[in-house]
Amino acid sequence: MTALTLSTSSAATLRADAIVVGVAKGPKGPVVAPGAEAVDKAFDGKLATVLETLGASGGEGEVTKLPALSGLKAPVVLAVGLGDLPAKGDGFDEETLRRAAGSAARTLTGVKKAAFALPVGDAESVAAIGEGAVLGAYTFTTYRSNGGAKKDAKGAPLAEATILGAKPRDKAFKAAVERATTVAAEVNRARDLVNIPSNDLNPKSFATEAQAAAKEFGLKVEVLDEKALLKGGYGGLMGVGQGSANPPRLVRIAYTHPKAAKTLALVGKGITYDSGGISLKPAGHNETMKCDMSGAAAVFAAVVAVAKLGLEVNVTGWLALAENMPSGNATRPGDVLKMYSGKTVEVLNTDAEGRLVLADALTRASQENPDAIVDVATLTGAMVLALGNRTFGVMANDDAFRTALYEIAEEVGEPAWPMPLPADLRKSMDSPVADLANMGERMGGGLVAGLFLQEFVGEGITWAHLDIAGPAFHESAPYGYTPKGGTGSAVRTLVRLAERTADGDLG
């Protein structure tokens, strides 16, 4: 992983393989952003003109590579677009810096050390640049036959990012970099898990990963295997997993702090592959379904991040792991499952499996009476239709909690939007044979799924549901710090939620 360092050296004298500078879109062309004064000086104060000549405008995400001139130790200057120049007196916002650093780091694969001469103000801006650099440098090469980045130096992620303009011994800056390193590493852990193909990542191997991390970071872990799930009456998890040769697991991974006043429960959908089951997905809809465990990956990574940060809050992660496959043992449309809560569910569509595994995990999580439960799931195609590929939906049984989550997501740079749970949609899940069906009205399908989950949340427990089906897996061209494939969506939101809970800012 990219190492982050701080330095107050001048961009002119620092030894690095490249210097990253910011360029904004001014009213009359590109403008060199603060932080790059020494670099501009080496260009005789004409860096903006040089960039304009090369066709640069300062637009967001734009990257321009220049050979450095004498007066600079580094051989290359990389100018990253910051978008519109902020109003006088305002700085660049954190997400702009995070994305710019990400675009730069992504361009700098194969480079050993880059100095980031971007506009640095407070510790937050340092954290944003650091986070963006580590996230943007991410590559997933495990399955390349040449051994990927390990053997091919040209494809190796940027090894070191030095953020200029920040005193290395300043307490706030130091803490900001440490947090950024931890959070970004854990986002990348979630990305890795999502990117591992389903022939290598199944419920059992995912649980093994959780056990290994628990050992490494001093977490308490319990794994219920298929025998324990059957015995315990986990009809949702068993019903979804029974068609697969890779049986289901329920993992509880818990971080506790001796001084914690609050306990958060995080529940993740962990379908290691979603074929749809007997209600098989058509071709074109299953190629990316290794991503259907992104919720569990986010929860797992967030718990590890919280542990590494040593936050004063208890966080219990629940990973509802199963593989949804069709077979002679698979649940059929029309079957009735007896859930862990005791409720019965008629399975009308075996492709609506996420809510079934989550239901059992939500009931189990509720038994411990946490102060709040947040579940994270690639739950519905309907949410992708509603909010697109980059924004996740936030539903909740509490208005203040939904608002808090939406605002936290916004704050950490994860686009999210509040969605309602309209009570009238509940009756569309009425079943003639069971307590409810796993499917209802097609219109507002993401909200129907949320209403289904709500049925399994313990009485009086504050709960929110994040449907990350859109942003969890990125299929088009990389942008900012977002690579192709697993994105680690929701990890940063969950970590910030834990921080806010630890600080006593919530409920």
Mark 397-426 with x for binding to Zn ion (rule: CB under 5 A) and - for no binding: ------------------------------
Nearer to ligand BES, 182 or 380 (CB): 380
Look at residue 11 and give the partner it binds from ligand BES, Zn ion, none, a contact being a CB closer than 5 to 8 Å depending on partner kind. Answer: none
Phi, psi dihedral angles at 394 (to 5 degrees): -120, 120
Token pair 């902020």 in the structure block, residue: 86
Give the containing element (helix H, strand E) for 204: helix 203-217
User: Measured at the alpha carbon of residue 186, what is the angle toward residues 386 and 252, in degrees to the nearest 5?
Assistant: 85
Question: Read out DSSP for 321-346?
Answer: EEEE--STTSPPTT-EEE-TTS-EEE
Closer residue to ligand BES, CB minimum distance, 24 or 376: 376
Helix (H, G, I), strand (E, B) or coil at 185: helix
Judged by beta carbon distances under 5 to 8 A according to partner kind, the member of Zn ion, ligand BES, none in contact with residue 439 is: ligand BES
| Residue 174 annotated to the active site | no
Residue 281 bears catalytic tag:
yes
- Which residues are within 8 A (CB) of 89 and not within 5 positions of it... i.e. 6 or more apart? none
Distance CA 314, CA 249 (A): 23
Instruction: Return the structure tokens found at 471.
Output: 């942003």
Structure tokens at 441: 């009205």
Residue of the chain from 185, 264, 322, 439 that contacts ligand BES (CB under 6 A): 439
Residue least distant from ligand BES (Cβ): 381
Instruction: For Zn ion, give the closer residue by CB, 353 or 499.
Output: 353
Q: Name the strand (E) or helix (H) holding 317.
A: strand 314-324
The binder of Zn ion chosen from 354, 471, 485, 488 (CB under 5 A): 354
316 token code pair: 């219990």
- Pull the structure tokens for residue 155: 């494809």
Please report whether residue 469 would count as binding ligand BES according to CB under 6 A.
yes
Q: Is 274 in the site for Zn ion (CB under 5 A)?
A: yes
Cβ atoms of 439 and 500 closer than 8 Å: no
Closest separation in Å from C-beta 430 to ligand BES: 15
Stretch that binds Zn ion, among 210-218, 248-256, 286-294, 467-475 (CB under 5 A): 286-294
Q: Are strands 392-396 and 462-467 parallel, antiparallel or unpaired?
A: antiparallel
Beta-sheet pairing, 18-26 with 76-84: parallel
Work out what residue 226 binds among ligand BES, Zn ion, none; the CB cut-off runs from 5 to 8 Å by kind. Answer: none
Q: Which is nearer to ligand BES, 263 or 487 (CB)?
A: 487
Residue 240 C-beta: closest distance to ligand BES, Å = 10
A 10 A CB-CB count for 412 gives 23
How many of the chain's residues bind ligand BES (CB under 6 A)?
Answer: 16
- Token pair for 500: 């806010």
Neighbours of 3 (CB within 10 A): 13
Which of these is catalytic: 191, 355, 364, 402?
Answer: 355
Please say which residue, 238 or 271, places its beta carbon nearer to ligand BES.
271
Q: Please name the residues in contact with 417: beta carbons below 8 A apart, sequence gap of 6 or more.
A: 387, 391, 392, 393, 394, 406
Please choose, out of 197-205, 373-381, 428-436, 474-482, the segment that lies near ligand BES by the rule CB under 6 A: 373-381
| Per-residue contact string for residues 238-277; x = within reach of ligand BES by CB under 6 A | ------------------------------------x---
C-beta separation of 344 from 337 below 8 A: yes
User: Judged by CB under 5 A, does residue 351 bind Zn ion?
Assistant: yes
- Distance of closest approach, residue 57 Cβ to ligand BES, in angstroms: 34
Q: Per-residue x/- mask for ligand BES, residues 335 to 354, rule CB under 6 A?
A: --------------x-xxxx
Q: What is the nearest approach in angstroms of Zn ion to the Cβ of residue 313?
A: 30
User: Is 289 or 461 the residue whose CB approaches Zn ion more closely?
Assistant: 289
Cα 104 from chain centre: 20
Name which of ligand BES, Zn ion, none residue 381 binds, using a CB cut-off of 5 to 8 Å depending on partner kind.
ligand BES
378 binds ligand BES (CB under 6 A): yes
For the packed helices 171-195 and 491-502, what is the interaxial angle rounded to 10 degrees?
140
Residues 52-111 that bind ligand BES (CB under 6 A): none
Work out the burial of residue 498: count CB atoms within 10 Å of its CB; fewer than 13 is exposed, 13-18 middle, 19 or more buried. Answer: buried
Q: Is 323 in the site for Zn ion (CB under 5 A)?
A: no
Which 3-state string (H, E, C) describes 250-290? Answer: EEEEEECCCCCCCEEEEEEEEEEEECCCCCCCCCCCCCCHH
Region for 411 from its dihedrals, namely left if φ exceeds 0, alpha if ψ lies in -120 to 50, beta otherwise: alpha
Q: Which of 292, 323, 360, 455 binds ligand BES (CB under 6 A)?
A: 292
Cβ-based nearer residue to ligand BES, 40 or 274? 274
Which of 176, 253, 347, 382 lies at the binding interface for ligand BES (CB under 6 A)? 382
At closest approach, how far in Å is the CB of 102 from ligand BES? 23
Mark 376-389 as b/e (b = at least 16 C-beta within 10 Å): bbbbbebbbebbee
Nearest-approach distance from CB 334 to ligand BES, in angstroms: 14
Binding test (CB under 6 A) with ligand BES, winner from 268, 445, 483, 486: 445
User: Exactly one of 41, 144, 174, 281 is catalytic; which is it?
Assistant: 281
Please report, as ranges, the residues that interact with ligand BES according to CB under 6 A.
274, 292, 349, 351-354, 378-382, 384, 439, 445, 469
- Interacting residues toward Zn ion by CB under 5 A: 271, 274, 292, 351, 353-354
Active site residues: 281, 355
